[in-house]
Structure formats: C-alpha cells, structure tokens
Amino acid sequence: MDASIFSSQLLNGHSQMRSGLEVDVAAIHRTISHHEQAIMTLDGEINAMMKTVRQMEYNKLQHRAEIRRCKSIITLAVRLPPEILASIFEECIKDGWTRTPLTVSHVCSSWRRATSIPSVWSHVYINLDARNPYQRSRLWLDKSQHAPLTIDIEIGNDTTPLPMTMNLLSKEIQRWKVLSLKSVHSEPANQFLQFCGRAAPQLQAVYLHVQEPLDIDPSHLISLSDSFVNASRFRTLHIERRLLPQPGFIPASISVLSLRLLSLVTRSFASVLRLLDSLPLLSSFSLEVPFGQQQSFAMDANPGQTISLGQLESVTLMGSNTIFGILSHLKLPGLTHLYLRSSLEYTLAEEAGDWIDVFLERSSPPLSLLEIRDLSIDSACFGRYFQLLPSLQELRLHDIDINDAVLGLLNAPYGLCPHLTRLDFRWCGRMSGRVLVALVQSRMNYPTTKSIEVITVINCSFVKEKDIIDLGEMTLCRLILREQDDYCSE
C-alpha cells in the first residue's frame, strides 16, 4: 500500500477515536455525579441511623443504671435492719478499724442510718500522738449519746493533749464500760488514773499496758480503787508491765485477773501469794511471761505456806522453770481448767512434775481440762496425774514425752479418766499411733468409760498414715489447726 494512503487512513482513525472518547467522558461525568448524590443521600441516612443508635445506647445505659439501682435496693447489705448493720460495724471497730463510723456513713443512705445508732460510736479510740485527739474524742462522745463506752487510749511521748482530753473523757466516766490504757511511761498513766476519781457504775474491765524503757526504773501505779469509785461491776483486770501490782492496787471485787510480766527481772513468789490472798472472788487467774521475755521467780515463800482460793476455776501459768513452783503453794478445790505453758522452746523442769503432783494431791480439783506445753516432765508422772483426775474430759499435751505404757492406763474397761472425750497431742515424739488406735477403740463400747469424740494429732513422729485412717473411721481426727483461738496458731 502507498505510504501516503496509509497515513491518510491513520489520521482519519484517530479523529474518529477522539470523537468517541468525548462522548464517553460526558457520560462518565454524569454517572459520577449520580453516585456522588447517592453517597450524600446514604450519608444522611447513616447520620440519622447513628443518631438513633446513640439514643438507643443512651437508653440502654439508663436501663442498666435503673437495674443497678433496683438491685441495690434488694441487696442483703441494704435490706439488713439498721441494728444488724450497726453490730457488724461494731465488730469492724473491735478488729481495729476505728474509723468505721466515718467511713461507712458515706456508702449509702441505709448505712448512714445505721451509723446514727449511738452504739456504733461507743468505741472511743484516742492516740495522743495523732492529730486533734481532743476533737476526735468530742465527736465520738457526742455521737454515742448515752451508750456505754469503750475507752481505748494510747499515750506516747507527747502528753500535751492529755489534760484537756481527760477533762472531756472524765465527764463521761459514768458511761465507761471498758478501759484500755496503753502508755510508754508510768507517769502519764498515773496522770490519766488521777483524772478519773469519780463513780464508774458501768465499768466492767480495765486493760493496762505500761511499757517503761529498760533504762528507767518503773514506778508503781496509783490504786484502781481510788481511780474508780463505786465501780460495783468492775470484775476483769489485765495488766502488762514490768512490775507486779503493789498491795491494795487491785480492788477486791476482781474475779478475772491476767498478769503479763515483761523484761529481765526476778520476782517474788511471796508477793504473788499475797496478791492472790487479797482477791477472795477470783475465778480466773493468768500469770504469764511472754515469748522473748525472761523472768525468774525467787522461791521465797515459806515451804508450808498454802493459799486456798475456793472460787478459782481457771489458772494459766506461762514462763520458765520456776514460775510453776507457785502450784506447790496453792489449794484450789474448785479448779476446772489448768494451762501450763513454757515460754522457752523447751524447759528442763524436772521439779515441775513434782509441783504438779503436790498440787493435785492437795487440791483434788474437779479438773475437766489439762494442758501442758513444752515441759520436760517424766512420763511416769502422768500415770499419777491420771489417777488424781477422775473428772478429766480434755487432755492437751504439746511437746511432751509421754510413752505408750502410760497412755495404756486410759484404755477401757478399767481405764483412768473415764470421762475423757477429747485428746490433743502435738510434737509428742515417743507415743505410737497403734496405741492411740487401741485407746480409742477400747473406749467405744464400754459403759464405764466415755468414747473419744475428738483426737488431734500433729507432728507426732510415730503416728503413721494407717493409724490416722483407722482413727478417722472411729472418731473425729484433726490433723491441722482450725480453731481461731488455738494457742499454737498465735
């Protein structure tokens, strides 16, 4: 084909293509405009729908809030009577949460109503080293109205607020039910007691803890009989300090007395006996030297001296060797509970076995519970004890080398201690598990002896798994600590 003709045809073709493209572009622009308009319409619809969704979400939140409100109305914490809530709040205060009334009053209206009960504010805790002890005391006293008061006061090194605070508290002394006084020094403790000096008709218990520094000689406290006049209900006294109470310090009305002696000091048995002899109504007595403290007692009482306390039912002695010697000077014909605990890891107390024997022989007490802990007493002594304790119901031996032969004396049908129903053995390294099984089994079907209802066995080397299984089939067998007041869990 001629070149000129070909060129002419090519130019005509391009011309036709450009004409066609111009037509398509216009149509495409119209299509684009149509779709843009459709998108705008859809955007409007979406915005309307989103507005509806947001409104629905808001409505849903409103319904949920109403559900929560309705549920809060029917919760047990709200439906409880105010008196029950108030008692719960009081338990929180006893556990040490002293700001309970202020805190719970901000929870809800029903809790706020419960805090309007005066007894919720009746535990007045005062720390003189804290900020504004006077204002705190005044608030609590006002809120408590006429409710009996528990006064819990701590006196540190700053005694500046003491006079003003005590003036306020002493005006309400007729409402005091329990007083707990903790002081670093004896002088401010005496200042506090001097501020009292008024009738305290509702006072029942006093707890005194005076922790004098070791480099300062402790001084005696003024008589509680002078501090609390006409305190006819005053029965319980706990004292924790370095000194034994002086004669006349403790009112003769006291029936529950607990003494915890601190620091390395030698004390007099004669002083303890004089103290006990001045308390004819005593029903519970505890003399303790805590763990980590060391005190010895001078055996200065006359060998034949004996104090008889007919109403004393419970005695706790805790300390090192000589403290148990006081038993040889006591006659307690009404004693039902006896706790003997060493404050050392292990006490070589050969004499303690004889002291216990003399005491049981002299007193012939109707003892129902005997606990001996960490004392090196010859196993043969327990055979004698069992003979002297026909009323024994519970026996607790911790870290005691009692052997199988002695335990066999408890076996039915002619076993000693026929009323024994509870046994508690811990860290007893000589007795065997088979003897315990035989003991429990022997007492199951004899009318002359009661069955063992509960047996506790903890860390006893010769009690095997098979023994535990056999015991568990015959009685309740405890292998772990569960009781909150268990002495070993402290």
pLDDT (tens digit, 9 = 90+) per residue, 332-346?
A: 999 999 999 987 755
Residue 265, SS3? strand
Please give the pLDDT value at position 465.
93
Q: What is the mean pLDDT of residues 245-272?
A: 86
Extended strands (E) in 40-117: none
Q: What is residue 489's predicted lDDT score, i.e. its pLDDT? A: 54
> Which pLDDT score, from 0 to 100, does residue 481 have?
64
pTM for the structure as a whole: 0.81
Span 312-369, pLDDT tens digits:
999 999 987 788 989 999 999 999 999 999 877 555 556 889 999 999 999 999 999 9
Q: To the nearest whole percent, how much of the chain has pLDDT over 90? A: 55
| pLDDT at residue 21, as a whole number | 47
Contacts of 275 (CB under 8 A, 6+ apart): 244, 245, 247, 250
Degrees to nearest 5, angle at CA 199 with 198 and 200: 115
Looking at residue 106, its pLDDT comes to 85
- The predicted pLDDT at position 195 comes to 87
Q: Give the pLDDT confidence score for residue 5 in this predicted structure.
A: 53
CB neighbour burial string for 146-176, b if at least 16 within 10 angstroms, e if fewer: ebbbbbbbbbeeebebbeebbebbbebbbbb
Q: Per-residue pLDDT for 23 more than 70?
A: no
Residue 217 has pLDDT above 70, yes or no: no
How many angstroms separate the CA atoms of 119 and 138, rounded?
15
Q: Are 218 and 212 in contact (CB under 8 A)?
A: yes
Which whole number is the average pLDDT over 176-190? 92
Q: 127-141: per-residue pLDDT in tens?
A: 998 888 899 899 999
pLDDT digits (tens, 9 = 90+) for 276-290: 999 999 999 999 988
- What gap in Å lies between CA 26 and CA 20, rounded to an integer? 10
Q: Give tens-digit pLDDT for 65-106.
A: 888 878 766 666 667 788 888 888 888 888 888 888 888 888
